[in-house]
Structures are given as structure tokens and as C-alpha cells.
Amino acid sequence: MSFSSKSLLRKFLIWKYKHISERQFVYIFSVLVGFLAGMGTVALKNLIHYIRLLFELSLFKNSQNSIYFIFPIIGLLLVYIIKQTWLKKHIGHGISSTLYAISKLNGIIPRYNIYAALITAPLTVGFGGSVGLQGPAVSLGSALGSNAARLFHMNTKTRMLLIGCAAAGAMASMFKAPIAAIIFAVEIFSLDIAFTSLIPLLLASVSAVVTSYMFLGTDVLLRFELTDKFEVNDILFFALLGLVTGLASVYFSKVFFGITNFFKKFKSRAKRLLIGGITIGSMLYFIPPLYGEGYGIMNNLLKGDHISAIGVTPFNLDLSNIWIVISLLLGISVFKAIAMTTTFGAGGVGGVFIPTLVMGSALGNSFAKIINNIGLDFHVSESNFTLIGMTGLMAGVLHAPLTAIFLIAEITGGYELFVPLMIVSAISFAITKYYVSHSIYTLKLAERGELMTHDKDQNVLMVLDIDKVIETNFIILKPNMKLGNILKEAVAKSSRNHFPVVNDDHEFLGVIRLDDVRHIMFNSDLYDKVEASSLMHADAGIIDYYEDSMNDIMNKFKSSGAWNLPVIKNGKYYGYISKSKLLTAYRQQLINFTK
């Protein structure tokens, strides 16, 4: 930032402090963040649109299946080149990275996240990578919100709120569903839904939707008009669909983590690209509907056109046979999760939100077709089951049942299907939660103790910085030090009452407390006879700098009853944490959370 820009910003901040309250400024700023998130989403959509215009050239019209194999590999290769030669930084999954920034980085998101997703996601998706845009849209919007908040010197709590506003804005702009967007921000980002935070979310969501209407018109990603009303007689079928989508959600999650761990075994990004690129290209060649995000599948199934949804396959299949159609739709359901995760493993950038909806739509539609064609004279609405199948997968995979219910309710333009939405979401979520404790977004963060939740005490502990509570100004003793030297070099020169003992490799051996030498400290006959090794003893517990979370540390103090515990870093003594300092830091952070 130039000197003149800094001067102008300083003058604006002074004017703001004099004329606008902090709350009013947050309200105004939330509108701006919503606009920026909306613009980011619009930019992503338009970039993909222009990339896909390439496929309409006559050059490619007679080689459709070859495109399905070659283009995804080209897109992944371009992303690889950009990452290696320009960005030179890791690009994580959008929502997971944002959650990590909230819980461990005080809501500070690097600036490169703004343009990284804007460039790499359209190349991945536009060239056919089987992932979605919702994650990159949230990443882009959150990075804009975070950096704008830093520019105007907003505190940590406000910065986190504005990240939530950006996430809501991205969701609202993507689906033109402002209410579902607010619930998404609250449910996924564990935001406090107090009145002071609800208003900025509302403003950001509305601002983003208006922005989307201004630049993209009234066109929506999912086109659905409710024609078949909810029938009470179908409740049992909806309950069965909830069971099916719950099991499918478990499958989706297990496949995601399994394939992700498989690709982590390859240290070389080039090797991941080669293996993943060929695999995804082969899958798309044989199953063309897996190509790209998959809005075509969902929209065609919603309007009852399963032939267009399945598309042209390299097999000469009789699509007039309904059971072949059902088999192909189930195949799409099974392989969508594999294609999506393989795209990630090959180095692609995208999100899991839209692939979840695609899998749910294919599963719900095939479920309805099975009911209608098993010869028992049942008939259910295939379009409704398609829509509600999407709800079940969303509730299960993303662990976001409320977002699932309200998103689909807004898409349908009413609440006619509210009861089946609730039934399927509740059953699917309950089953998935039993087998998979956290969502795709949050599992790894939860395992590392880095997940923000609605538990305020847990959140306070999580955001505490261990370096700020570690004290290192202790006089260190060696095991062969004599009592006289201990008294002269340590006890006499320190205001502390305990002294760590380490060996020549700086490994922690034990501790000597003032009470351990008090009874002999005036016996000069022992000054040259007693060594530190005979006086030291094990501490009540040891804290590992890298392994122990703040919650673990608090539990160690509670179980040991100690007031001071040593910290080990890379196997070496590092310092001490005192219970009093930890509680003081906790109380201060709690005040910051509740302001």
C-alpha cells in the first residue's frame, strides 16, 4: 500500500471513530462483504462459462468421448503448473481451510486465497474435474472478508463474524437462497446466533443475492417447480429413503477419506497428477455424466428427462429398459464420490457440496424408479424423491441437516415438502453421525483438536496460543551439579521455587523444588556431596508442545493437581506452563468471545 493510500485510510479510520459506532460500521461492512462474496461467485461462474465455450467449437463436436478423457487431464495439468511455478503454496479445501483459519489463525486468511481459488477452481471444473464450486466460492469470499476486516483494523471476533458473512454470501449468491445461506454459516461455521451476529448475516446474504441477480439475472442453478404434493401414504418410503441416503453418506465419507489417504502416500505431486489424471479421465470416458459439477444431471432428473441426464455413453445400451436406466443412475451415485476425490487427489481444486447433491439426486431418482417399477402398484413422485435425495446426502455427508432442509425448501419456492425433508434429513444425519463422527469438512480438524464448535468453553481453549502461556525464564540445572552450586547459581538468583533438570542433550530429566532443598540448604557439609540427580524427582505430568491441545493441557492440570507442568518440544525441555497463567489467559479470551 502506497503512502498516500495509507494516509487516506488513516483519515477514514479517524472519521469513522468519530462519527460511526462499531456496530453500525459492522452492519455497513457486512453489506460490502456480501457484495464481494457475490462478485467472487459471479466471477467463478463466468470463468467456467467461458472455458466451456471451447467445447462448443466445431473442432470438438465429433470427439465428445475423447474430450471426456483428455480435457480433465489438461485442466489438472494447468492447475499443477500454476501451483508449481506461480502460486508455490498449498491450496486446501475451501471450507476446511476457512474453518482452520477461524479456529487457529484468529480468522486471518492469506491474501493469495483470493486469487488462488479464482484461477485454479475454474480450470479444474471447467475442464471437467468432477468437483463443485461452492467450496472455492466460500474460500474466495472468506479471504476477501478476512483481509477487508484486517485493512480496517477490526478485532478478532468481528473478523470471524465477517468470514461467516462471506460464507453466507457465497452460498446465497450460488443458489439464490438467502435463508439457507444464513443457516449454512451458522451450522457449518458454528457462529453465535445472537441478535448482533444475525443482522450482519442477513445483510450479507441479501447483498450477495442482489449482486447475483444484477449480474446473472433470475436464472437459477437448480430449476424445479413443485407439481406433486406431499402424500401422507409416502411417509414409509421417505423413511426408507432416509435410511438409504444415510448409508450412502457413510459410503461417500469413507471413500473420500480412503482415497485421500491413498494419494497422501505419494510425496511427488507429479505422480499424483499422473495416477489421478489417468484414473479420472478413464472414469469420465465410460461415465460421461461425472464430467464437471453435474448440474445437468440434477436439472434433467428434476424435469423427468433421465435420458439426457445419463447422456451418451460408449456402450450401446437400451435406455428404453428402465432397469438399465436405474443401474446407470446407481452407477453415477457410486462413482461420483470416487471421481470427486480422485480429482482432489490429482491436485484439482474444488468443493464437495455440489457432488454431494449430484449423488443424492441420482440416488433419490433411482430409488423412486425402483418403487414405481417393482410391480407392486406403488407410485411416487420421481422429481420429489430426486430433490429429497439431495437433502439426505447433504444432511449426512456435510452434517448439516438444517441447511439441507432450508436449501431445498427455498429452491422449491415453498414448504410443501417440509415434512419429508425433515424425515429424510433426520434419519440420514442420525445414521451418518453414528458411523462418521464428523463431516468431510471437519473430521481432520476435530482429530487435531482444531475444530470450532458451538461449545464456547471448548472454543476459548482452542484459540488460546500455547506460546503465550509458556514461561521459559527458569534456571536450568544439570544432574551433576552440587548442592552448593545449586544454591548459589539457582536458588539465590531466582524468584522461582522450582528448577528443571536436563542432560547435555537438553532432555528433561526431572525437577527440583525449593521444598526439596529447604531442609539441607544451610548444612554446608553437604554442599560438595549432594548432587542434583539425588534431589530431583519426576514432575506430576509432562506437556508435549505439538501433541497436546489446550483441552489436553487443562485436563492434565485437573488430573495431576499440579500448578506447574513442564513442556517438551521435539523431545527437548522447552519451558513451563503455570495453572494460574493458563487460567488468566483463558478468562481474558472468554471476555473477548463474549464482548
What CATH number is attached to the domain comprising 466?
3.10.580.10
Compute the distance between CA of residue 98 and CA of residue 113 in angstroms, rounded to an integer.
10
In a domain, 225, yes or no: no
Per-residue pLDDT tens over the stretch 475-519? 888 888 888 888 888 888 887 888 888 888 888 888 888 888 888
pLDDT of residue 329: 92
413 & 266 share domain: yes
Examine the domain organization and report whether 62 and 94 are in the same domain.
yes
Which CB contacts under 8 angstroms, 24+ apart, belong to 503-509? 503/478, 503/479, 504/478, 505/572, 506/572, 506/573, 507/571, 507/572, 507/573, 508/542, 508/566, 508/568, 508/572, 508/573, 509/479, 509/533, 509/536
CATH number at residue 388: 1.10.3080.10
73 and 191 both lie in a single domain: yes
Residue 575, strand partner residues: 567
Predicted confidence (pLDDT) at residue 460 exceeds the cutoff of 70: no
Last residue of a domain, one of 453, 483, 502: 453
Tell whether 404 and 551 lie within a shared domain.
no
Lookup result for grid cell 436464472: 219
Residues 260 and 344 sit within 8 Å (Cβ to Cβ):
yes
Grouping H, G, I as helix, E, B as strand and the rest as coil, residue 488 is: helix
Identify the pLDDT of residue 393. Answer: 94
Short-list 135, 173, 143, 171, CA closest to 159: 143
The 10s digit of each residue's pLDDT in 287-323 is 888 888 888 888 888 888 888 888 777 777 777 888 9
Q: Are residues 418 and 504 in the same domain?
A: no
Kindly report which listed range (3-12, 380-389, 392-401, 511-520) carries the lowest average pLDDT score: 3-12
Same domain, 495 and 579: yes
Q: Are 141 and 174 contacting, i.e. CB atoms less than 8 angstroms apart?
A: no
Q: Which residue has the higher pLDDT, 220 or 79?
A: 79
CA–CA dist 238, 232 (Å, integer) = 10
Distance between CA 388 and CA 579 in Å, rounded?
51
- What is the model's pLDDT at position 453? 54
Q: Does 60 fall in a domain?
A: yes
Q: Is 90 exceeded by the pLDDT of residue 194?
A: no
The DSSP call for residue 540 is S
226, part of any domain: no
Query: For residue 76, with 0-12 CB atoms within 10 Å meaning exposed, 13-18 middle and 19 or more buried, which class applies?
Result: buried
Please tell me the distance from the alpha carbon of residue 158 to that of residue 26, in angstroms, as a whole number: 8
Q: Given this model, what pLDDT does residue 392 score?
A: 94
Domain boundary among 434, 453, 472: 453
What is the spatial distance between Cα 481 and Cα 473, in angstroms, rounded to a whole number?
19
Per-residue pLDDT tens digits for 400-418: 899 889 888 887 765 788 8
Instruction: Work out the percent of the chain whose per-residue pLDDT is above 90.
Output: 15
Beta carbons within 8 Å of 47's beta carbon, 6+ residues apart: 118, 122, 126
Distances (CA, A) of 419 to 178, 229, 401: 21, 11, 13
Q: How far is CA 544 from CA 140, 444, 538, 577, in A?
A: 35, 20, 15, 11
Residue pointed to by grid coordinates 449482486: 211
CA 434 to chain centre: 20
Determine the Cα–Cα distance for residues 295 and 301; give it in Å rounded to an integer. 10
Tell me whether residue 540 is in a domain.
Answer: yes
Query: 178 or 192, which is more confident?
Result: 178
**Sorting pLDDT into bands at 50, 70 and 90, what band is 16?**
low
Asked if 275 and 315 sit in the same domain, the reply is yes
Shared domain check, 527 and 503: yes
Domain count, the chain: 3
What distance in Å separates the CA atoms of residue 203 and residue 314, rounded to the nearest whole number? Answer: 49
- Domain assignment of residue 224, yes or no: no
Give the whole-angstrom CA distance, residue 144 versus residue 157: 16
What cell does 79 get?
Answer: 492447475
Residues counted in the chain: 595
Q: How confident is the model at residue 58 (pLDDT cuts 50, 70, 90)?
A: very low
- Three-class DSSP category at 544: strand
Residue 464 to residue 143: CA distance in whole angstroms: 22
Q: Which position has the higher pLDDT, 533 or 455?
A: 533
Residues 414 and 484 in one domain: no
342 located within any domain: yes
Q: Which of 132-141, 188-197, 240-249 has the highest mean pLDDT?
A: 240-249
In a domain, 227, yes or no: no
Which segment of 66-70, 298-302, 521-525, 528-532 scores lowest on mean pLDDT?
66-70
- The rounded distance, in Å, linking the Cα atoms of 164 and 186 is 8
Note the helical H segments in 233-294: 235-264, 269-286
Please report where in the chains the cell 537438553 appears, as a residue.
Answer: 506
pTM of this structure? 0.77
Domain boundary among 184, 216, 248: 216
Do residues 93 and 205 both lie within one domain?
Answer: yes
Q: Report d(CA 582, CA 546) in Å as an integer.
A: 17
Residues 387 and 264 in one domain: yes
Tell me what pLDDT residue 244 has. Answer: 95
Cell of 439: 463431516
Same domain, 494 and 443: no
Whether 254 is covered by a domain: the verdict is yes
pLDDT value at residue 250: 95
- pLDDT of res. 591: 60
The residue assigned the cell 447433491 is 357
Domain of residue 521, residue span: 458-594
Q: State the average pLDDT for the chain.
A: 82
